[in-house]
Amino acid sequence: MSLSKDKNWWRQAAIYQIYPRSFADTDGNGIGDLKGVTSKVDYLASLSLDAVWLSPFYPSALADGGYDVDDYRNVDPKLGTLADFDEMLAALHNAGIRVFVDIVPNHSSNLHQWFKDAIAAAPGSAERARYIFRDGRGANGEIPPTDWPSHFAPSAWTHESTWGGKHNQWYMHWFAPEQPDWNWDNPEVEADFLKTLKFWADRGVDGFRIDVAHALKKDLSEPLRMRATMEYDAPQNLDGTGILMDRNEVFEVYRTWRTLFNSYDPPRVAVAEANVHPSRLPLYASENTLGQSFDFRFIDAAFTAQNYKECVSQSLELAKKNNSSTTWTLGNHDQMRYATKLGLHPIVDRNDWLLSHGQSHPVDFEIGTRCSVAANLFILALPGCTYIYQGDELGIHEVADIPFDQVQDPLYLRNLKQAKGRDGSRVPLPWTRGGTNFGFGAGTPHLPQPKWFADFSVEAESGISGSPLEVFRKALKLRRELQCAEEITWHETTSEDVLHFSRPNGWNCITNFKASKYPMPAGEIILASSPLVNGKIAAGSTVWFKA
Ligand code: GLC
């Protein structure tokens, strides 16, 4: 299959996120690799995907799962080589699947050559000016320069002596200390990222997922302001004048990137990971900036008809504002598996549950998986672009019982162990029911796989009518055939727990969230997430039909 020639291919695409280290391991080092992705191209093609997005595969010491990048224009030797990348890209393109890579522009890693140069250089040097170094407060500079918080540690400042620096300065990091923030006021930094984008675009990469797209520009004017707020709805963040996030200046960067993207044929596309107030998302998704932005509204919306309808209506309205299309996403590598969210009683504190290794409350695997497949069919029928996280097509659950001494996530390691973090959705995928490491690879997987993975393996679900995988396969294939104008019409239902909408070509989607069995409207059923019961739609089911 060849790549579509449509320049707007991304508007209503199905895009699958690969977390490469946990996808497939061909060299037996326990870590997935690029050859692993190549070895699964047939599987990816069987899902009728328009594109895959690869989380970082760059050289990294994995202080934050690869989002700590040592070298933006290379492949981590543990995952392969640039030649492996080219081979993978060609194989995916041959199968009609486009490729996004992850760009991490807010911070590098502490092992990036430029950070090492900065630590070795003196205050005021050009090397230090690429990052955010400042003197501390207090008589001996022993107090961090400001009170700015970090996502992964109490303070956003770490003393340079941590890495052997001898000049008594502090540097800023929004995430882990191993992730020093770039100084985006420095033209050298801007030029280097243009070089990186060009490097991958020239290799044939079709799009970019932009990590923490809202954080690049900070207010670094002196004296540094205090009391930065991470609340995305704080007034200063709503008008783009906050200290650390979502500042209006960031769009200047993205306008420059857009000029580069548009110099390619077809233009390269991008999607922003911007954790900002929804009213600010159109600025990232504008056709003059990144073109598309994740809308994370569904990720934490309770599985109810009312919430889902609200999310859809608000999101579609926003997308119209910038001539972009909407994005829908239920999971990613930062989230608890969606099936588990829906299988846990809504009042359960997920963090506490994870800290208890999943022992504090039962999770209903069956309900969770069933509802998550129903939720996926719901979003797949909506106009716009859908992002699917690897394994969600299997209805797989969170691995809650990773022993603490094997947890890798800095969220756990750095946050005084108050949160267990995100490893539970990053456990290497089960390909086979049995065999070594469920077919992931010969070496011990970098995160432990539970026994119950057998039932959620690709092998266990393949060819089984009604399994999550087969429902996804059908849904994605049909979706491609049925795709039409980006509009929906809501239809009345006789239950407040049931939503029914249709697309302009007569493609109907009805979801019963939790009502007792709901009568199936007249029409030709084309797909059901779970079988009808005496002609009725059971709770936790979605049906697609032609009216
Ligand atoms: C993004 C990534 C997340 C990472 C963070 C810092 O939010 O999705 O995994 O920890 O950025 O790079």
174 Cα nearest atom in ligand 1: 6
Length of the chain equals 547
Phi and psi at residue 359, in whole multiples of 5°? -95, -20
439 pLDDT more than 90 = yes
Least confident range from 56-65, 272-281, 320-329: namely 320-329
How is residue 293 annotated by DSSP?
B
Better pLDDT: 142 or 5: 142
Ligand 1 neighbourhood includes 67 CB (under 6 angstroms): yes
Q: What is the mean pLDDT of residues 327-338?
A: 97
Percent of the chain exceeding pLDDT 70 equals 100
**What pLDDT does residue 229 have?**
86
Write the residue with the smallest CA distance to atom 9 of ligand 1: 334
pTM more than 0.95: yes
| Contact partners, residue 401, CB within 8 Å, separation at least 6 | 357, 358, 450
Where does the pLDDT of residue 66 fall: very low under 50, low under 70, confident under 90, or very high at 90 and above?
very high
Ligand 1 neighbourhood includes 334 CB (under 6 angstroms): yes
| Contact partners, residue 234, CB within 8 Å, separation at least 6 | 242
288 pLDDT more than 90 = yes
**What pLDDT does residue 416 have?**
64
Q: How far is the CA of 127 from the centre of ligand 1 (A)?
A: 25
Tokens, residue 348: 């359960």
**What pLDDT does residue 230 have?**
85
Q: How far is the CA of 45 from the centre of ligand 1 (A)?
A: 28
Where does the pLDDT of residue 418 fall: very low under 50, low under 70, confident under 90, or very high at 90 and above?
confident
Q: pLDDT per residue over 469-488, tens digit each?
A: 999 999 999 999 999 999 99
Q: How far is the CA of 212 from the centre of ligand 1 (A)?
A: 7
Write the residue with the smallest CA distance to atom 4 of ligand 1: 67
Q: What is the mean pLDDT of residues 335-346?
A: 95
Could you tell me how many helices (H) and strands (E) the chain has, helices first? Answer: 15, 17
Q: Could you write out the DSSP letters of every residue in 86-129?
A: HHHHHHHHHTT-EEEEEE--SB--TTSHHHHHHHHSPTTSTTGG
Write the residue with the smallest CA distance to atom 7 of ligand 1: 212
152 Cα nearest atom in ligand 1: 10
**What pLDDT does residue 323 have?**
83
**What pLDDT does residue 378 have?**
98
Percent helix / strand / coil, the chain, rounded to 5 = 35, 15, 55
Cα 471 from Cα 529, distance rounded (Å): 6
- Mutation pick for ligand 1 pocket among 55, 57, 67, 104 (CB with most ligand atoms within 8 Å): 67
CB 184 within 8 Å of CB 177? no
332 Cα nearest atom in ligand 1: 8
Q: pLDDT per residue over 15-30, tens digit each?
A: 999 999 999 999 999 9
| 220: exposed, middle or buried (Cβ count in 10 Å: 0-12, 13-18, 19+) | middle
Cα 333–334–336 angle (5° rounding)? 90
Percent of the chain exceeding pLDDT 90 equals 92
Cα 94 from Cα 88, distance rounded (Å): 10
Where does the pLDDT of residue 413 fall: very low under 50, low under 70, confident under 90, or very high at 90 and above?
confident
Ligand 1 neighbourhood includes 104 CB (under 6 angstroms): yes
212, containing H or E segment: none
411 Cα nearest atom in ligand 1: 10
**What pLDDT does residue 29 have?**
97
Q: Which long-range contacts (CB under 8 A, 24 or more apart) does 413-421 make?
A: 414/152, 414/153, 414/176, 415/152, 415/153, 418/351, 419/351, 419/354, 419/355, 420/351, 420/354, 420/355, 421/354
CB 497 within 8 Å of CB 517? no
Cα 458 from Cα 299, distance rounded (Å): 24
Q: What is the mean pLDDT of residues 143-167?
A: 95
